[in-house]
Amino acid sequence: MSQQDHTLDPSLASWVASANDASTDFPIQNLPYGRIRRKGSGEPWRIGVAIGDQVLDLRLALDAMPWSDTLRPAARELASGDLNAFMARPMADRVAMRAALSHALRAGSGHQRALAGCMVLQSDIEHDVPCRIGDYTDFYTGIHHATTVGKLFRPDSPLMPNYKWVPIGYHGRASSIGVSGQQFRRPKGQTKAADAAEPSFGPSKRLDYELELAVFVGRPNELGEPVDMARAEDHVFGLALFNDWSARDIQAWEYQPLGPFLAKNFASTVSPWIVTMEALAPFRRPFERPAGDPQPLPYLDSPANRSTGAIDVTLEVLLHTQAMRDAGLPPHRLSQSSFLDAYWTVAQLIAHHTVNGCNLQAGDLLGTGTLSGPTAAGAGSLLELTQGGKVPITLPNGQTRTFLEDGDTIILRGWCERAGARRIGFGECAGTVLAPR
């Protein structure tokens, strides 16, 4: 598990002036990684590090910094755009790279003159997904989401009997994951109305978002070798924001008996920056189950997980309709929740995913599932906010929504803050619904 070190000192300042703004998502204490290039350039993708309103282009920095013999191979991987190779490195290498970048970017650094020419404004870059995502598993860790949705279908017993014993998940489609700014067509599929004798085919009428976090796997494990709780977070590179779009009407018809399929695989959107586990170290919290709930089985338990297994991330969802954009109105916040409400921790997801011998690989993405809070103000989907489409929400401009309409943009934001630590953020994860083909 990542420990706090000098790179997290809240008094650290950077020679990149915008990184010292208290409101920035990307102070020197953060240093997240993403895959970038200059807009419209057609340049090869390379890895960049966000700092304030700028990005350190590691392709340019490869020759501008005097890398140590130990770090130069890792710097070459990042310069070539191969974040997966870097993610697969031992944690010690990642910690050493973070220390080197922190030293180079801090105020008074002797590297300022050399690196000044390696900086690019974030407004001048375009993003790809931050790494190659080979496999994608979506979990169901949001107990408030599971309970609220379960009540719509099973009022007397909203949670399945296994929910509090086993981290529930399904294998998703990695090929349709796109980076923030993704635009996708409204999906089509089979649906069946409750009063219909037969299903029909057409565009989804109950399109929804899901507020999630993405857990990116770093160091892989060999096939047949489970990762125990004591080592689980050594295999995690970091977190990003994640929107697992859902066609609720398609899902309702196809869900049984094998689970999500066309209702989920048409699009998912991830934010462009991976915030490393090292940067998240100040925001760890104890993990404990509510009184009366079963304790995790031994393979899902450890002293470290109990003491610091939870991560304090505040999350919010905003909606920007086409009419709001046309009128120059800002996005409207729909909800705010916290990762602290998740029923399972990052370490537990890794341990459970591998306990049967499954081999995770660098770049694999584990979705947390919808992260809702205990009240309606923290609902992580429209399915919850509108009580299954029965209670429309009214927006400030008078528009109403039960589910998403064409032209709607959903924006996810996330940040961590506490006394005695520098606030860090995840940037934005935005996606827009287009009309069906």
Q: Collapsing DSSP states into helix, strand and coil, what is residue 56? A: strand
317 within 8 A of 335, measured Cβ to Cβ: yes
CA–CA separation, 308 vs 316, rounded Å?
A: 23
Q: Which tokens is 323 given?
A: 């009419």
Q: Is 418 annotated as a binding residue?
A: no
Q: Is 140 annotated as a binding residue?
A: yes
Strand-pair partners of 204: none
Structural element, H or E, at residue 146: helix 143-153
Could you confirm whether 145 is annotated as catalytic?
yes
Task: Note the helical H segments in 65-132.
Answer: 72-79, 83-87, 91-105, 112-116
Backbone φ and ψ for 226, nearest 5 degrees, come out as -65, 155
Question: What burial class does residue 295 get, using C-beta atoms within 10 Å of its C-beta: 0-12 exposed, 13-18 middle, 19+ buried?
Answer: exposed
- Out of 111, 127, 144, 145, pick the active-site residue: 145
Q: Is 138 annotated as a binding residue?
A: yes
Question: Pick from 147, 223, 234, 135: which is nearest to 177 by CA?
Answer: 135
CA–CA separation, 187 vs 435, rounded Å?
A: 9
Work out the angle at residue 261's Cα, subtended by the Cα atoms of residues 257 and 265, and round it to the nearest 5 degrees.
165
Q: Which amino acid is at 260?
A: P
Q: Collapsing DSSP states into helix, strand and coil, what is residue 61? A: helix
Q: Is 151 annotated as a binding residue?
A: no
Q: Collapsing DSSP states into helix, strand and coil, what is residue 288? A: coil
Query: What are the contacts of 49-52 at 24+ separation with CB within 8 A?
Result: 49/101, 50/25, 50/26, 50/122, 50/273, 50/427, 51/14, 51/16, 51/19, 51/26, 51/27, 51/105, 51/119, 52/14, 52/16, 52/17, 52/18, 52/19, 52/20, 52/21, 52/24, 52/26, 52/27
CA–CA separation, 209 vs 433, rounded Å?
A: 10
Q: Is 264 annotated as a binding residue?
A: yes
97 within 8 A of 4, measured Cβ to Cβ: no
Q: Is 348 annotated as a binding residue?
A: no
Q: Is 244 annotated as a binding residue?
A: yes
Q: Is 148 annotated as a binding residue?
A: no
Q: What is the distance, to the nearest Å, from the Cα of residue 351 to the centroid of all Cα atoms in its chain?
A: 19
Backbone φ and ψ for 370, nearest 5 degrees, come out as -65, 125
Binding site as annotated, residues for Mg(2+): 244, 264, 268
Binding site as annotated, residues: 138, 140, 154, 210, 212, 244, 251, 255, 264, 268, 370
Active-site residue numbers?
A: 145
Binding site as annotated, residues for Ca(2+): 138, 210, 212, 244
